[in-house]
Amino acid sequence: CNSSLQELVEWNNRYRQKFGLVFLICASERSTPEILEELKKRYPNRPIVEFEIAAQEEMKIIELRLAKLFAAKAEVTSPMDRVRIIGEYLTVASEVHGGKASQTSARTRPPITTHVLEVSRGSPAAGIEVQLEMWDHFTFL
């Protein structure tokens, strides 16, 4: 498996040189040889085709993360419960140290992440704020 891992690293480098970004795949329940096989299969693609496939893979990752998040919370009964659960990861808590109240971040890694790619550089874009909204019959919740 170590040779497969080394080969995967080499193919990832080739992929990045060709497409200007890292190989994106929903790796859940996939072995290193399976990922390597998929990378080799996708490598000949034209960039526009590969970007579409990468976007589909990102959607799979997001769907898995959301399903995992909500499966862990038994009290989810409405869309607003889902919004509340996501919001719990983004709260700031107050702590008292030596009699003085101070604000410290209680954030953990959010259950939902985004990857905004600066295509011209092939790397993550900096300084972009992303807001998650839910559409519900002509209004945002």
- Token look-up 């839910």 returns 134
Cβ 105 vs Cβ 47: under 8 Å: no
Most confident of 33-47, 87-101, 121-135: 33-47
- Listed in sequence order, the residues at least 6 apart from 46 whose beta carbon sits closer than 8 Å to its beta carbon are none
Q: pLDDT tens digits, residue range 65-75?
A: 877 776 765 56
Q: Output the average pLDDT for the chain.
A: 73
98 φψ region: left (φ > 0), alpha (ψ -120 to 50), beta (else): left
CA dihedral 5, 7, 13, 16 (to 10 degrees): -80
d(CA 75, CA 83): 12
Residue 21 has pLDDT above 50, yes or no: yes
- Listed in sequence order, the residues at least 6 apart from 110 whose beta carbon sits closer than 8 Å to its beta carbon are 86, 89, 90
d(CA 96, CA 103): 9
Burial (0-12, 13-18, 19+ Cβ within 10 Å), 36: buried
Residue 129 has pLDDT above 90, yes or no: no
What does the radius of gyration of the chain's CA atoms come to, in whole angstroms?
Answer: 20
In DSSP terms, which residues pair with 97 in a beta bridge?
100
- Give me the pLDDT at residue 75, please: 64
Q: Label residue 45 by pLDDT band (50, 70, 90).
A: very high
Q: Label residue 138 by pLDDT band (50, 70, 90).
A: low
CATH number 1.10.3330 is the correct assignment for the domain at 2-140? yes
Cβ 86 vs Cβ 131: under 8 Å: no
Structure tokens at 51: 């970007």
